Structure 1
Amino acid sequence: MAGAVKLELRCPKKVDGIAVDPEPDWNFSTLLSEINSLEEKLSVSSKFPLAFAKTKSRDIYHGKSIERNSRAFIMRVSVDEMEESSQSLTVAKRFHCDDIYLSDDSEDESLFELQSDLMNEVVAEEGALYEVNYEHHIDIKEEIRIQVSAFETDIIKEIETSNSAFARVEKYKEARREMDRKLDLQYQRKVAEALDNHLTAVQRDHELKSQIEERRIRSDAAYEEAKRREKALQEEKLRQEKVKAEAEMQAKLRAEEAKRVALEAEKKAAKEAAEREAAEASKRIAGGVPPLEGDSSEAVNAPPKGSGSKKPQLAGNLLRSAENALKLEEQRQQKLKELDEVNKSLKSCSNEDFSSFERHIGRLVRQIRGTRDNVSGKASEIIKILNNPRCPQSISVAAFVKKVVSHCEAPDNAPFASSYVIVLVTSQFPHAMDLLLAEFHGACIYTVPKHIVYKKSEFESKEAYYKAIGYRENDGQIESTNDYLKRLESYMKLYGALVQAEVNGIRNLHGLEAGWAWLARFLNTAPANMYTAVALNTFLQMAGFGLFRKYKSQFNKILEIISGNFLSALKAREEPGLKPVIAEIQAYLEDKKFIIEPEGRSLQNYLLSSVMVPSESDY
């Protein structure tokens, strides 16, 4: 055919995702297989099973249907016809209906007109064959329309069935919701009733317990009232005894204060006389030690090199120390002894346990570190404990001095920080300084300073001598010399840090004047040996910087005496153990380490007076 007409179906082109677009050029077997596949897809993709089933095989070759043959159609003619047409044989032509495109809704006669025009151009046999082919296509088109109509009907029925099923499901869901709501209301009602019953029972139990508790409280209150009255009577009795003991202690302290004032007046007068005498002596003796500033306890002119000197020798020439130093030591030890006796009487007549205050003080002393906030904070807390009326001041002061001195041996001890705390505390409690020094003298004889000479005839054994100079005995054995020297060094570190501790606005009761006096007494009385060398070296390392800043050239002359007399005497002993100490002292003198501030002295360059002494804006 020269032209073609497109036919379209009267149904939707796509139903439930399946396209309906038959191709007229298909053969019948292909069309049937396609329709069957559409039915299978519809059955699979549908939410509900199909409401119809195919009962008859899909075979449209009946009635006017023509059985198709894949062979070509052959037309034959007789011999007569061949002669008339002057043709011996006409070759048959093959006709196929596969190329004809049908349309569902094309009802006009354009196709027929086209076909009639074409038929005029062909022979009669071809026209007859074309008519047969056309009828065949009409039958196929009708059959397709029937099948599509049935398909549309099935789809509509399926949609109606689905809508009906959805309606039933929604109705069922609504019924279930109503039933659940009713069940929830019933359950909530039961829970509320059970909760009400439980609360009622709890309330009854609470009322019963409240009644029992009220009776018990009344009973306990009566018992506590009786106990309180008894305790009040005991406390009143203890208070009276404590007031009596405090009065006695205050009387002793006032007497001691009067003695101290008289002693200071005596020392002042002696100082003036000693200054006059030293001024005259300095004119007569060339190269001697200059007069000591702030000390009136003894003559301080050192002899020149190689000359002898008269030194106080006590206890059968065994004890070497300055007489005034021994007197001060005796006075301080007597104060400490009296304090211990008072504390024993207070503890014996009191039922209270003061050990918690002592432990608190010990803990604060162990926590002292070389920082500004730490030193000011620990000093303030210790002062609060010493002012606490719940603990007698004599007990807390004794605990403070003992803990400070015993903490010297700790590896984490900060000597300079501890010395600042001591100055701040003793500025509020002056009598605590003498008690602290008494503890120092008991722990280390070289803080006096004094030295005990060993004589075999005077001591039962070498161990007895060691005990006399401060060696400790553990489990029946005397500690080693190295351990003793380490303890001696730790005590001298704190003592040297104490005498040079300076706090702006606060007077150090045992300051640089006492350090200068200690150095002069030490050089005038102490022999040169291992113990005195360690004590002198440690003292210079800690206090030399402060002494040099105050006494300048006078301190340089003292160092010359140390280099010429003491150091020479140490070298003359030729003991192997003395070599490290000699080297340290010699390096200290030669390198002038006394002009360098020792580590830890400045407390991070902060003046403690701004913390402990209120400024004008604070008043």
Structure 2
Amino acid sequence: MISIHFAICRGAVKLNLRCSQRVDGVADDPEPDWSFDALVSELNALEAKLATTASSSTKRSSPFTKTISRGKKIERGRAFVLRADEYDMEDTDSEDDDRDGKALVVSGSGKRFTCDELYLSDSDDSDIVSGFEVRPYLMDELGEVEGALFELTHEHQLRVKDEIRNKISALETALVNETQNSASSLLRVEKYKETRQELDKKLDTQYQRRIAEALDNHLTAVQRDRELRSQIEERKIRSDAAYEEAKRKVAFEKQQQEKAKAEAEAKLRAEEAKRAALEAERKAETEAKKQAALEAEKAAEAEKRAQKESTETSKRVIPGGTQPAAGHPPDSASSLSNAENKESGNMYRAATNALNLEHGRLQKLKELYEKNQVIRSSYNKVFLTADGGDVYLKDYTRHEGHISRNIRQIRGIRDNVRAKASELIKLLNDRECPQLISIEIFAKKVVSYCENPGNAPFASAYVIVLVTSQVPHAMDIVLAELHMACLYTVPKHLVYKKSVFQSKEAYFKSIGYREDEGKMESTEDYLKRLESYMKLYGALVQTETTNVQNLHGLKEGWAWLARFLNTLPANQYTAVSLNAFLQMAGFALYKRYKSQFLKMLNVVSKNFLVDLKSRNIPELTRTITEIQTYIEDKKFLQEPEGRSLQSNLLSNVYVNY
């Protein structure tokens, strides 16, 4: 409750407003910090205003009667209660009532208002809620001022209430609007989220399509690039061939001149040799006539000495063996005689006809090397041309490079094999290089190529058969190179004897071990090379091509297997050789010989494998298992991988990454 106390002259007036001090945080007094001077000036203004209004109304002597609720009257000369109208506001807490009766202190003036008496007219008979009771002697002097103050206070309260209601309604409106805005914002966010998800799905689909298109384009470009490379390579080969052909035509005349000069020199040498021979014969005849008597006397002694020397040479064994190192020709006829002496001394385990065939092939290889040596020595000389001054030196390095490149490019593809065989035949028949030198280069390169890990033995065998069908002399040279590289292609085994070989290293060198910078290669590496040579030999004997005769065909393969089982012992070298041969040629041998081949396998199973197992060598376990599995699982019924050449080029096959 708001309590205003006045102490004026004769008494005090108490005015209580029936309303709350605060409504929703807004105070009923707009200026709670008024000073006393401000209050007095405000009251004076109210009095002046009331005086002007009173002069225009009825006279002051008229009786003054104030009515309150329920028709009660306050008579003149008696105390009355000035009551404020009831408002639609709830009573405040008891804490506001406790504030009644306290003195009002204004800090600005230092003066003090006191309330002498304070009471409420709360009678049980009336419905008056609250009111002010004023003494009668104050009514005559201050009634208009109090009424004006009451009206002013009432108006002020109404204004405050209106402002509070307006602010509350504005706040409610703002809250409702904010709630609606939040809901609409959430809806927009949800719609944006759904729209964004759909857009992401579309973008993902488009991105996957682009990736698929890019991948297809890349694969197409790769395939096109491979085709272009193959075309470029073919064009390069053609251009090289055309260049070589042009060069050959240009150099043909020079070569004819050189040949004529060489033939003339050879004739001169032959004539000189004949003359020297005739002179030697004449001298020999004269000396023979002179010493005829002496020779007759010494004839008996010479025969005895010759018989002794022959017996001694037949029993004598030269250490180191006669097997030449891989890739090198026999040095002289003494090596062959040593080989024969060792064979007679049971140094080799081999069939007689196999040794005879080997001897014939090695003899042909030796003759080839000797002829090529003469050709190289004659052509490596410096010759003067007809005009005098220019020097021409014959060199076969480029020709050897062409042969080596074609052999390295052999693959297990039908078109590739035919193309490489055709190129090699042209190179072997090239007029620029003698055929004997070309055959020597071809045999060495094709045998050494089988040592490479990525070689194709069946494809190499097809190339050898096609080339030797046009150049038959080359087959014996290739076989001789194989025999020199691997003695088990004969088949032949060199027996180790301490009385013959000074050390194990000497024996290893004799059977084909290689030595690099004084260090002997390991047995594992040697067995890998041995397996490569035997795979090439096994692929060669079983190769059959339409309208082409294999000069060393399946008949020779059957003979090799029979000689092998009849003469060679069971050890790690022979085991690896037999396993490699069966893996490559077993399928073709079974197709040709059927039950006879099965009998051969029975011999291998009952004799050869039993001997191998009895040796108890751990390194032989894998090889024994492979041979036994080959026989028991009848793998000879399955065509070995690579035997049938592929029909398509790899560059024309679409590769799906």
Please give the TM-score of this superposition, normalised by the length of structure 2.
0.46
Higher normalized strand content (fraction of residues): 2
Please give the TM-score of this superposition, normalised by the length of structure 1.
0.49
